[in-house]
């Protein structure tokens, strides 16, 4: 653990304590636009849930409630994390992800959500390919909607779990003040809902966030999100407190895949792209060695070992990747409890 002396104390909240914002009955579509107090209330509840889960003392505040998962894009890990979180908090979970391919059109998305709501579920967890899908669903139904990732837009519980993981390592108190912290996000930021949610939460809490990648993946227009943009990773490593690696999606060059009948030309081209990417942006063991003492490495998973992140780093002492997974359940249990718990309307 490295104690952080805030570089900019003025960024700490100086206002008197406010009543915690109420989340009951609300949606969680994104972290952009949330007030600092709202973020702190979500993180505080998440930290509490993490402690209680660790002590097997989480209150089953969702007993008797039914939560629906509606994933129009496959993600066993995220769906499972929400499912475990809901079950730990006492809820039943019904999965409505079947036949997903036919329900990716806007109208059917709304139709499906309205049907699920009409079944009397207490909340719907939505993942979809289209940016903005969660907001569309939230406007169509009255029950709380939790965005589990919509296109390139947001993945708010991922942003919260990343922030909680960083804050748990470096944050000093219940304010979740992250001023003085340098966070570097590496990869295809432009396409990443994970980055977008993370940037929103981290910058709002005072962290200095730099997005790094080739200009196609990290265009300078990203600075509108409140972060810095860079195209070289190496100069940033010595001062970064946390490095968040994103998953890189190259067309696979494997010969043992169903698409293994690719031409040699395409295979070589993919391998060349990966080699080029690794040269500048992969967090190799060599690069990780340049990081400051106590600095940590995050990855939303699943990892492409040997592509954006070396196995030695993923499993090494700087890695907090498993802590992210554990915090994911806590964040999701806390969010569900805040939005759905308490007396039914």
Binding site for a copy of itself (CB under 8 A): 53, 56, 60, 64, 66, 68, 74, 76-77, 79-81, 83-84, 87-88, 92, 94, 96-99, 107-108, 111, 114-116, 118-121, 301-303, 305, 322-323, 325-326, 328-329, 344
What are the C-alpha distances in Å from 269 to residues 187, 218, 265, 272, 334? 19, 22, 6, 5, 45
Which CB, 143 or 189, lies closer to a copy of itself?
143
Nearest distance, CB of residue 200 and a copy of itself, angstroms: 25
- Please report how close the Cβ of residue 228 comes to a copy of itself at its closest, in angstroms: 31
Q: How far is the CB of 80 from a copy of itself (least distance, A)?
A: 5
For 158, phi and psi rounded to 5 degrees? -65, -45
Write the CA distances from 254 to 119, 251, 268, 344, integer angstroms: 44, 9, 11, 52
Nearer to a copy of itself, 211 or 313 (CB): 313
Residues 193, 66: Cα–Cα separation, whole Å: 27
Q: C-beta of 320: minimal distance to a copy of itself in Å?
A: 11
The beta-strand segments (E) located in 73-207 are 92-95, 123-128, 145-150, 182-186
Quote the least distance from Cβ 24 to a copy of itself, whole Å: 15
Query: Whose Cβ is closer to a copy of itself: residue 239's or residue 255's?
Result: 255
Question: Residue 131 or residue 323: which is nearer to a copy of itself going by CB?
Answer: 323
β partners of residue 70: 126
User: Could you give the C-alpha distances from 204 to 119, 150, 172, 230, in angstroms and in order?
Assistant: 38, 21, 16, 20
Measured from the CB atom, the residue of 19 and 345 that comes closer to a copy of itself is 345
């Amino acid at each position: 653990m490295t104690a952080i002396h805030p570089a900019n104390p003025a960024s700490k909240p100086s206002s008197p304590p406010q009543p915690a914002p109420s989340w009951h009955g609300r949606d969680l579509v994104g972290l952009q636009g949330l007030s600092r107090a709202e973020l702190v209330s979500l993180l505080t509840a998440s930290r509490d849930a993490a402690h209680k889960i660790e002590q097997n003392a989480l209150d089953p505040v969702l007993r008797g409630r039914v939560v629906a998962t509606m994933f129009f894009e496959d993600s066993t890990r995220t769906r499972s994390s929400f499912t475990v979180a809901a079950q730990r908090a006492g809820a039943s979970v019904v999965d409505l992800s079947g036949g997903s391919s036919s329900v990716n059109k806007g109208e059917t998305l709304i139709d499906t959500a309205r049907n699920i709501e009409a079944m009397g579920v207490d909340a719907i967890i939505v993942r979809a390919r289209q940016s903005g899908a969660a907001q569309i669903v939230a406007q169509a139904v009255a029950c709380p909607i939790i965005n589990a990732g919509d296109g390139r837009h947001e993945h708010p519980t991922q942003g919260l779990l990343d922030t909680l993981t960083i804050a748990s390592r470096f944050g000093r108190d219940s304010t979740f003040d992250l001023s003085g912290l340098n966070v570097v996000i590496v990869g295809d930021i432009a396409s990443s809902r994970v980055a977008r949610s993370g940037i929103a939460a981290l910058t709002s809490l005072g962290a200095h966030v730099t997005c790094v990648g080739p200009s196609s993946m990290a265009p300078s227009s990203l600075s509108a999100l409140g972060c810095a943009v860079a195209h070289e990773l190496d100069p940033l490593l010595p001062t970064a407190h946390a490095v968040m690696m994103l998953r890189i999606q190259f067309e696979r060059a494997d010969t043992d895949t169903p698409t293994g009948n690719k031409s040699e030309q395409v295979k070589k081209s993919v391998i060349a792209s990966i080699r080029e990417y690794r040269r500048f942006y992969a967090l190799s063991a060599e690069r990780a060695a340049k990081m400051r003492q106590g600095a940590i490495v995050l990855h939303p998973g699943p990892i492409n070992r040997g592509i954006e992140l070396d196995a030695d780093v993923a499993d090494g002492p700087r890695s907090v990747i498993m802590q992210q997974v554990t915090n994911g359940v806590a964040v999701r249990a806390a969010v569900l409890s805040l939005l759905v718990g308490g007396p039914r309307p």
